[in-house]
Chain A
């Protein structure tokens, strides 16, 4: 991908504010006494840093420390073999029993809803949660499946020919949200 084609939409400061308000919204539904029983599971890869940041924010706000896990959905996608290239399988790490638990799935950006569909499928491979909620940093619209986040950091109107990417300092250089023309990816492929 050509770095020069990226356009910054949100910087680190703006993202920190969104995470803070997401944590508040979660605590509204699950007050501190329940928050300790929450488990946040980040969808690989951009949902993972989001889950960890949200756990930190919740702990700072109320002292409760929800558990945190990671989920890779590659084995649950319905487009194996139709994509240009095979997704790299990343780590799934759910070091706790999810039966009956309240799970908050996290993802950086929601678009079609297909990843979330796969994630719901994947998560049930590990047990039978009591409730599942969905938290996303960005909802950029263009939904294809009847799936809506329970907690949304921000809705963005971005033309369809652009992809919206969330980047995190744990993975990339810094926290940022970019729009990138889809052509930048096809050129690379």
Chain B
């Protein structure tokens, strides 16, 4: 029996079933083919209006969504924190109600507050696609990571996936954990003790204090960007020490399986969490992730649009 998508929003992978995740991945495979043609555009969302509301700065996710929307033939309104009326003291909800009054169909939202997309989906009739909300959730990033893993490894179930870095503040890590666990992967997280909370053991993730142990049996290594402001907030002493203790370099690569995938959601701090030679090396799939992101976002927008009445 074919699975039929029924949700008007994509808020987090926590909310999705295994079947729903697979539905997005399978749909994305067909959209990836579209991107490989000469004519890369389909009329699927012709006449639909999508609002990209980026309350928090973003370059790659915004560009990826915009291109996905253009390739689906949607009409696009771009709003960001600088140009929107938030500066004039309008609430997020009022801004969105105005957008809804323009008969927009879907809002793609990036926001610094966890749960902001959930809040909007409750209050509005438009479809809501989460493009990252604080440290809570970044479902399309995790879907493109999982899509890339499945494409490269042929499966997700049973794989050992290590996520390394600032787990505490990472929406990418959280969404990956939910998605990977639902598809039957074994997830290990590693990094500085201040940034890798033991609480994740409660959902079935292995918390590893020793980086080498986390890397040794990994089929996939997903590295997270380490942010300098965490140093200032006292989570670790310096990026230099971070690179030495938790960075992936030619030394640590000795412990990594030769066919393990090296992934990174970008942008990479070269020489901190990941050495250039490895970021650009044969095991890296970082640019494929970007390519697949487009297909995944086209699939998500297509599925969500199909459930708007």
Residues on A close to B: CB < 8 A? 72, 74-78, 80-81, 83, 85-92, 121-122, 124-127
Contacts and interface: CB of A to CB of B under 8 A. Distances in A.
B238 interface: no
B95 interface: no
Which of B44, B302, B306 has the most chain A CB atoms closer than 10 A to its own CB? B306
B38 A88 contact: no
B44 A125 contact: no
Contact of B307 (A86, A88, A89): A86
Interface of B: 2-6, 23, 26-27, 29-31, 33-34, 37-39, 41-46, 48, 72, 105, 302-303, 305-309
Contacts of A125: 34, 37, 39, 41-42
Contacts, number: 64
Contact of A76 (B37, B43, B309): B43
A89 B37 contact: no
Contacts of A83: 306
Contact of A88 (B2, B31, B37, B43): B2
Nearest to B41: A125
17 contacts: A75-B30, A76-B42, A76-B43, A80-B302, A81-B105, A81-B309, A85-B4, A85-B6, A86-B303, A88-B3, A89-B26, A89-B27, A90-B30, A124-B39, A125-B34, A125-B42, A126-B39
Contacts of A80: 44-45, 48, 302, 305-306
A88 B23 CA distance: 9
Contact of B37 (A77, A78, A85, A126): A126
B5 A86 contact: yes
A113 B308 CA distance: 25
B294 to A, nearest CB: 14
